[in-house]
Amino acid sequence: MPEHQSPSPTVDVVVLLPGDRVVLVRRKFPPPGWALPGGFVDVGETLEAAAIREAREETGLEVRLDDLLYVYSDPRRDPRRHTVSAVFVGRASGEPAGADDAEEARAFAWDALPSPLAFDHAEILRDARTFLLTGARRRP
């Protein structure tokens, strides 16, 4: 009997800073591009704890999670493997500094996001901006 395969659980965080800025990290490893802070959930770890840990590891910021934005599960969202990401919206203060597997971390104005964005993070950022401006959440 073949072994059952499952998607890998991941988290991403839309980290908001004062001045209506959002934090992105430039990836150190493929696939290239700018991305939301995030990564894989460790065994025995909650999604919330993973989100806070990943944001801290990649940006140096202590993030307070405010909302669960949506769960993104398109099998094509990560070219390395099928992942399912719980995406949170959180807030922090200070200036980010890239660390761990982030080559660089910076805060951007919403109308000046860098390119290219990795994975499905352009879609996530559009959804997050809509949510922040209107309170409307993405529908399944």
One of 45, 57, 103, 104 is an active-site residue; which one?
104
Cα distance between the two ends of the chain: 33
* DSSP classification of residue 117: B
**Residues whose CB falls within 8 Å of the CB of residue 140, separated by 6 or more in sequence, listed in order:** none
Does 62 qualify as catalytic in the annotation? no
d(CA 17, CA 95): 8
* DSSP classification of residue 29: S
Is 76 strand, coil or helix? coil
For tokens 């352009």, the residue is: 122
By annotation, the residues acting in catalysis are 104
